[in-house]
Amino acid sequence: MIVNYTDLIEKVKRTTVPKPLSITLSGHAAGEPFDKHVYAKIKKQFPKNTFRQYEYLNDLFSKSPDTIGFNARQELFNSPTVLFLLSRGKNATDKWSIENPFEEKQNDTADILVVKDNFYELIDIKTRNISKSAQPPNIISAYKLAQLCAKMIDNKEFDNFTINYFEINWELEKDKLVCQDAHFGCLFKANPADLYINWAAAMQIQFHVCDLDQTFKGERKKWAKEYLKHFVIQAKKRSDDMIKKFVKPFEKYLN
């Protein structure tokens, strides 16, 4: 890992951002300024290595202006797994140019990307109003993570990237949002068999970062295999549950 999160937690605690206008404080959007805040702090420490995901893609493509089109630009990534995590779709990649760069996209995998010595550290910021109880947020698509694990195994790429989550707990004080605490968790240190998949909510894995166990000790290859096992078991279970809940109770009406 590149970033020192213990240090980062201390740096963001008690920092403030102005209360946004006309946005309900329940929504996820309210805490968004903290995301930019964390980005600035990491960028200060690693100015040449810190990017927003779209910035990294613009940087990568700008360095090879003669490489045109989706397939050729895919080759610019030196890792199929990182390619899978960071790249945009065919149409957007075909249309990219220095005059028509990528902009921020809400469902990009990472909020922040720190790249050093061919190691990619993806960081996703989760902001949380601790005055209200809320469902655990969407973390990543369980299916996308299964595809990622398959790619890691297919390409034997286990050590060139990580995915980290950073939770900002904020509270409204007068006209400011104040960061009261922060938490860090590494996806690949969580026990994969314990990850909760919300099938109805676009198959999203959901957790509060502060609740994420960090006790997994095995190698990444083991993590990938254990996650795939968990995903397949859960998908089978959901498939069976759908028959029990959505088919059986209604069959008597189909005469």
Task: Please enumerate in sequence order all residues whose Cβ is within 8 A of that of 106, keeping only pairs 6 or more positions apart, or say none.
Answer: none
Distance CA 202, CA 212 (A): 21
* From candidates 146, 163, 179, 205, binder to its own copies by CB under 8 A: 146
Q: Which of residues 169-228 bind its own copies (CB under 8 A)?
A: 200-203, 224-225, 228
Distance CA 86, CA 108 (A): 7
18 contributes a contact to its own copies by CB under 8 A: no
What is the smallest separation between the CB atom of 108 and its own copies, expressed in angstroms? 17
What is the smallest separation between the CB atom of 255 and its own copies, expressed in angstroms? 8
232 contributes a contact to its own copies by CB under 8 A: yes
Distance CA 220, CA 109 (A): 19
Q: Which is nearer to its own copies, 109 or 204 (CB)?
A: 204
Q: Which single residue is written with the structure tokens 């990294």?
A: 56
Q: Which is nearer to its own copies, 5 or 137 (CB)?
A: 137
Rg (CA), the chain: 20
- The DSSP element (H or E) to which 167 belongs, if any, is strand 161-173
Q: Which is nearer to its own copies, 68 or 233 (CB)?
A: 233
Question: Looking at residue 165, what DSSP letter applies?
Answer: E
Distance CA 10, CA 4 (A): 10
Q: Which is nearer to its own copies, 98 or 250 (CB)?
A: 250
Q: Which is nearer to its own copies, 95 or 116 (CB)?
A: 95
21 contributes a contact to its own copies by CB under 8 A: yes
144 and 130 in contact (C-beta within 8 Å)? no
Q: Which is nearer to its own copies, 172 or 247 (CB)?
A: 247
- The DSSP element (H or E) to which 168 belongs, if any, is strand 161-173
How many residues bind its own copies, per CB under 8 A?
34
Interacting residues with its own copies (CB under 8 A): 20-23, 143, 146, 149-150, 153, 200-203, 224-225, 228-229, 231-232, 235-236, 238-240, 242-243, 245-247, 249-251, 253-254
